[in-house]
Structure 1
Amino acid sequence: MAHEIPAVELAPGVSLPTIGFGTWQITGQSAYDSTRTALDAGYRHIDTATMYGNEEEIGRALRDSGLERSEVFITTKLPPSQAGRERQTIEASLKALGVDYVDLWLIHWPPARGKSLPTWIALLEQRDAGRISTAGVSNYDTGLVDELIRETGETPVVNQVAWSPAQHDPKFLADMRDRRVVVEGYSSLKNTPLDDPRLVAIAQAHGVTVPQVILRWQLHHDIVIIPKSTREARMRENLAVLGFELTSDEIETIDTAF
């Protein structure tokens, strides 16, 4: 690869590549083919979930890639409906993926009232048992994150949330940074008009596409990105965002555009 993917340390010996391959809504043979292609293109961070129904195909792609298990960071997620069945759920994920552990396990959405804390405690137990390397959350607001920290003294290493220029929330980013929680963004292009003249002008100035500008903008805010595509050209285009940098004025324009 022309540009090595930077990583952020989540725990001693556990580093999360800041560009990952998202697999939501990619299932069956397409999940296998896309994951193989992504790994061949240089991705070393694969994001999946029990709810996606593609862990088995991803595991097969990983085995067939010829890469060592330690070379690829794997994230999966616990459905909130499985609160109370954490061990059974992670064991099923490990079996489907064909691995002994996952690098990061997230609570996919906050469970029903009163279940978030016991679910978090159960994730920490699976970490201590060696089935997961690190534990985090997804779609949690600051108050819910604070509850977990206050009650257990353990901070989620990642909070995966929807993020795009239309959803930019500087206070939330500052809150997570203050708590040393890495923000991971999904649905990067959602609700953002890709023909907006301000975005088009920035893209033209760098000789890139508007989607590349948006992904690069997220990285400038230290947000880990997990773009999804089944096309090799787009996968490589997404990795190529490491090849340019936005100016501070361009970042501010995007921050306040929507």
Structure 2
Amino acid sequence: MNHVLQLNDGHTIPQLGLGVYKIPEDLAAGAVEIALEAGYRHIDTAALYANERGVGEGLARVALPRDEVFVTTKVWNADHGYDNTLRAFDESLAKLGLDYVDLYLIHWPAPRQDRYIDTYRALEALRADGRARSIGVSNFHTHHLDRLLAETDIVPAVNQVELHPWLQQTEVRAYNAAHGILTEDWSPLARGRAVGNATLDAIGARYGKTAAQVVLRWHIELGNVVIPKSVTPSRIRENLDVFDFTLDAADHATITTLDAGERTGKDPDDLD
């Protein structure tokens, strides 16, 4: 799979990747192995997921050249702060069994802690060292980004946010685009809500695709990165099969009507 997007730092990122949230460590290696063999070249994990070691094992099983696989991980809220972040990164890198990660993110802003600026400065140092090729944030509202851009030196390459037809994040997407930040979508299928939706099923029937494939194609056509999660081999492969059809303007208009501002996770201002 060679569908990649350009980051603001000169690197590229595969547009569709495998997310491994809530995949137990003993299953993560197998899921990663299946995904890589199917053609995925982008794996998204985090310290919180407690499966970085399994992800690393899956990478080792397939043994692709390191520069052919894009690996993302994230620093958790409890490790915010400059020195804590550097220690947390070292732990993540050791578990993954890698010399560097392609993208390191602040998982949540945790604004009541008021440490995400110092945390991001640690990310800047990691990028300067080459141990994190690109750096960015996750779950940042525009007001978090305003402060970050004012008080740090490097514009984030990515802002990974919850985004799906019922939470289309129009304001955040526009802000990201205006500042050269790529939007990356987690929970792209709204934790399964897309499956069996009559509106999406009707669109999919016209293309011989499932509702999930329609939604993933919608993310792709928005110009975003998308990271669906699965441990089921057939679903992992199905989620990748979204590059052989195109939604029309009417399809996009119909999906736009589903937006209800409904989250499946927490509001970033409410998570410490």
User: If the TM-score is normalised by the length of the shorter chain, which range does it land in?
Assistant: over 0.9
The aligned amino acid for 1:174 is A
Q: Does 2:55 align with 1:54? A: no
Paired residue secondary structure (1:109): coil
- Post-superposition shift, 1:10? 1.7
Match runs of 1:110-189 below 5 Å: 110-111=109-110, 112-189=112-189
Q: What is the distance in 1 between the residues matched to 2:119 and 2:143?
A: 16
Q: What is the distance in 2 between the residues matched to 1:250 and 1:150?
A: 39
Paired residue secondary structure (1:122): helix
- Post-superposition shift, 1:173? 1.2
Structure 1 contact 21–46 (Cα < 8 Å) conserved: yes
Q: What is the distance in 1 between the residues matched to 2:242 and 2:197?
A: 19
Moved more, 120-129 or 190-199: 190-199
Q: What is the distance in 2 between the residues matched to 1:140 and 1:49?
A: 16
The aligned amino acid for 1:146 is D
Structure 1 contact 5–19 (Cα < 8 Å) conserved: no
Paired residue secondary structure (2:74): strand
Q: Name 1:26's counterpart in structure 2.
A: 23
Q: What is the distance in 1 between the residues matched to 2:250 and 2:154?
A: 37
Q: Does 2:63 align with 1:66? A: yes
Q: Name 2:268's counterpart in structure 1.
A: none
Structure 2 contact 159–184 (Cα < 8 Å) conserved: yes
Structure 2 contact 194–211 (Cα < 8 Å) conserved: no
Q: What is the distance in 1 between the residues matched to 2:58 and 2:199?
A: 40
Q: What is the distance in 2 between the residues matched to 1:12 and 1:167?
A: 28
Moved more, 188-197 or 173-182: 188-197
Structure 2 contact 46–73 (Cα < 8 Å) conserved: yes
Deviations 1:145-181 (A, max 9, x none): 1211111232111011111100013222111100111
The aligned amino acid for 2:103 is L
Q: What is the distance in 2 between the residues matched to 1:212 and 1:193?
A: 9
- Post-superposition shift, 1:14? 2.0
Q: Name 1:42's counterpart in structure 2.
A: 39
Instruction: Determine which structure has greater relative contact order: mean sequence separation of CA pairs < 8 Å that are 6+ residues apart, divided by chain length.
Output: 2
Q: Name 1:94's counterpart in structure 2.
A: 93
- Post-superposition shift, 1:12? 5.2
Query: Gapped runs of 5+ residues in structure 1?
Result: none
Match runs of 1:188-203 below 5 Å: 188-190=188-190, 192=193, 194-203=195-204
Q: Report how many aligned residue pairs link the two structures.
A: 255
Query: Gapped runs of 5+ residues in structure 2?
Result: 260-272
Change (3 A) 1:195 1:29: closer
Structure 2 contact 35–236 (Cα < 8 Å) conserved: yes
Q: Name 1:14's counterpart in structure 2.
A: 11
- Post-superposition shift, 1:26? 0.8
- Post-superposition shift, 1:194? 3.7
Relative to the length of structure 2, the TM-score reads 0.90
Moved over 4 A (4+): none
Q: What is the distance in 1 between the residues matched to 2:105 and 2:243?
A: 26
Change (3 A) 1:68 1:232: same
Deviations 1:186-230 (A, max 9, x none): 111227454443212101011100011011111111121101111
Q: What is the distance in 1 between the residues matched to 2:231 and 2:194?
A: 22
Structure 2 contact 9–134 (Cα < 8 Å) conserved: no
Give the share of equivalent positions with the same residue, in percent. Answer: 38
Paired residue secondary structure (2:21): coil
Deviations 1:32-61 (A, max 9, x none): 111111111111000000111111111111
Structure 1 contact 139–159 (Cα < 8 Å) conserved: yes
Moved more, 111-120 or 189-198: 189-198
Relative to the length of structure 1, the TM-score reads 0.94
Q: What is the distance in 1 between the residues matched to 2:28 and 2:145?
A: 32
Tell me which of 71, 74, 83 is aligned to 1:77: 74
